[in-house]
Amino acid sequence: MVKKRFRGLFFNAVLALSLISLVPLVFIGLHLTQVNSRVLQHEIFQKQQVVASRLSAIVNSYVTHISEFFSVFIDLHTEFGGHAFLNQIDLNYLQSKNPSISYLALLNKKGQLLLSSGETPTIEYKAQLADMIRKCVLQKENYWGTVAFTQAKGWVALMAFPVYESLSDKQVAGILVAQINLHPLGKALVQAYPLDMEAFIVNANQEVVAYNGVPDGMTGTLSDALKQDVLAMREQLGENSTGEVELPNGRKWLVASSNLFLPGWKVYVGQPANITSKLVLESTVRSYGGVLRIALIMLLFILGVSYWVIIPITRPLERLRKAALRLREGDEIISREEVDIPKNEIGDLAEVFVEMSESLHTRRADLLSAQKMLSSTNQDLEQRVEERTRELKAVTDQLVKNERLATMGQMASIISHEIRNPLAVISNATRLIKMLLKNPDGKIEKQISIIEAEIKQANSIISEVLGYVRSRDLILNKIEINSYVHDVLASYPFPPGIKLSERLDASNANVKIDTEEMKQAIRNIIANAVEAMQNQGALMVGTRSGRRMVCIYITDTGPGIPPDIRQKIFSPFFTTKARGTGLGLAVVGKAVARHHGKMFIKSKEGEGSCFQIYLKIYHNPGDTCYGEIR
């Protein structure tokens, strides 16, 4: 069972170092994957914007070409036509030169029809006559009207242009209305459509005019699902040029848009959003071998470090365990060769153990000798012998107890040193990880903070245990009580939520105390008060002087101490906290007792507590009983 425990210590060390080393690497890998995904998404958006801009340029170029065709024809006819205004021959000639023109009409500036050419128009221009007059006659600009779709002709657009009788005229004489077939635009778009994306051209009425999913590039009738997809893109993207859009069927797409100079017209280019995940997954699979090699190297390194750190601890402890079993079974002296004392702290422990075995052997021999001497005493002195035997036994027990306590103190000191060494290694490793993580994830920072807090808690527990177990002579110094209390408060790290106030007696009496031991006692009381107030409240620390005694009092605004546990709080290992050793106030009681002082507590539940430490005022040498010879 013991061997399994030692093996467990080794494997626990391996597991702890593995978690410390590998978990941050996993989080870093996940973070890098997310960064790569965002970079890929940004590149996809850029590519989509390039495609959308190219399609926009094609549409804008086509519209500009048609507009320039009519404008140039009107200007040339006005300057060199030989007659003042357009006639039927001009309209027929214009239509013959551009097969995409399916209908022409010449209106006067009031919108009345003068001439027409071509077949019956698909789009009735009279519904847009007011807009034409405003645009062409009043604003003297070209007019782009509505578009419409028919099964016979496909998509057609209505356009209108101002007509002058002379280039020098400032007033518009009429309006030339043209119905243009957009089939040539579809051919141009087919050459520019992307193969790995879907592209849509939508007019101001949210109609899909062009789509790369049809052969001729210009849509006829789309399915309701596609129409809903385009509507979702327009609503969710809004005025943004790129973004992630959720379609009605739940799929997510990466979409980029580009505006045309036609009012309300837009180009949308999109791809499924999971394309970035696929690309990242492919990249991860390609680098899978390298990741495995790094993980294997890390594992071998951890095993080597764990073996180097843990085995030198477990082997000497196993030898000490066997020696302790022999010592328990019989009266033997354990030699130094049997425990193979190493030259480290565990070796010091083994040295103390050997000395303890020798001391126990000697004392056992002395005890047996005394018992034999007592058994040969005269019957008439039996009662006296029994009394002396009881006294001897009490003294012996107390001696053994003191000896064991001293040994336990030395063992606790050595073992705590051995525990603090791995804690220091873990703390240094945590700091190194924090230095290596320049922009750590919030979760990683949280886990590192937990590790640091637990290390601090472990060191605090070790210090409390050592402070209670160790016994040393008091180092007495004469000090002024007010300055001493002020310095203790100045060195204590109070939380921001604690409001501290000092009330020091004007007499500033002198006392002769062990400053470090009493400082630890005062700090323990303050720490309990701060924790009881949950880092929020008022703390008052002050002094009061009498003729022979001076009082140090610490008052808090915490919840108070119930009466049933006030007599227990100074007992070792008694605590009401979820975590803690229960030695904080035990150290306080021990320190006050060693200084022959008095300790009082005043507490009322719901209002707070007041701890009072009374010490004798030091006037002249010999006044105190702190170990001085009077």
Asked if residue 488 lies in contact with residue 519, where contact means CB atoms within 8 angstroms, the answer is yes
pLDDT of residue 630: 36
In three state form, how does the secondary structure of 497-522 look?
Answer: CEEEEEECCCCCCEEEEEHHHHHHHH
The pLDDT tens digits for 496-538 are: 898 999 999 988 889 999 888 888 888 888 888 888 888 889 9
Residues facing 181 on adjacent strands: 156
Asked if residue 512 lies in contact with residue 618, where contact means CB atoms within 8 angstroms, the answer is yes
**Cβ neighbours for 12, distance < 8 A, ≥ 6 positions apart:** none
Measured between alpha carbons, how far is 231 from 247 in angstroms, rounded to an integer?
9
Q: How many CB atoms lie within 10 A of CB 263?
A: 9
pLDDT of residue 331: 63
Measured between alpha carbons, how far is 422 from 308 in angstroms, rounded to an integer?
12
Residues listed for the chain: 630
E-only strand ranges, 70-112: 101-108
pLDDT of residue 433: 78
Measured between alpha carbons, how far is 525 from 196 in angstroms, rounded to an integer?
72
Alpha helical stretches, state H, 118-161:
129-132
Identify the DSSP state of 218: B
Residue boundaries of the structural domains of the chain: 1-286, 473-616
Three-class secondary structure of residue 543 per DSSP: strand
Measured between alpha carbons, how far is 94 from 69 in angstroms, rounded to an integer?
10
The pLDDT tens digits for 285-323 are: 666 666 677 778 877 777 777 677 777 777 777 777 777
pLDDT of residue 313: 72
| Residue 83 burial by Cβ neighbours in a 10 Å radius (0-12, 13-18, 19+) | exposed
pLDDT of residue 571: 63
- β-pairing, 549-556 vs 608-616, is antiparallel
Coarse DSSP helix, strand, coil percentages of the chain, rounded to the nearest 5 percent: 55, 20, 25
Identify the DSSP state of 102: E
List the CATH code of the domain at 473-616.
Answer: 3.30.565.10
At 11, list the tokens.
Answer: 């494997």
Strand order across the beta sheet in which 113-118 lies: 113-118, 101-108, 174-181, 154-163, 143-150
pLDDT of residue 625: 53
Measured between alpha carbons, how far is 599 from 547 in angstroms, rounded to an integer?
18
Pick out the chain residues at pLDDT < 70: 1-14, 17-18, 21-36, 81-84, 167, 220, 278-291, 306, 330-333, 335-344, 374, 376-380, 398, 400-418, 420, 438, 440, 453, 456-472, 566, 568, 570-584, 622-630
Give the residue from 289, 349, 293, 299 showing the smallest Cα distance to 323: 349
Measured between alpha carbons, how far is 344 from 342 in angstroms, rounded to an integer?
6
Q: How many CB atoms lie within 10 A of CB 231?
A: 15
Q: Which residues of 525-540 are buried (b: 16+ CB within 10 A; e: fewer)?
A: bbebbbebbeeebebb
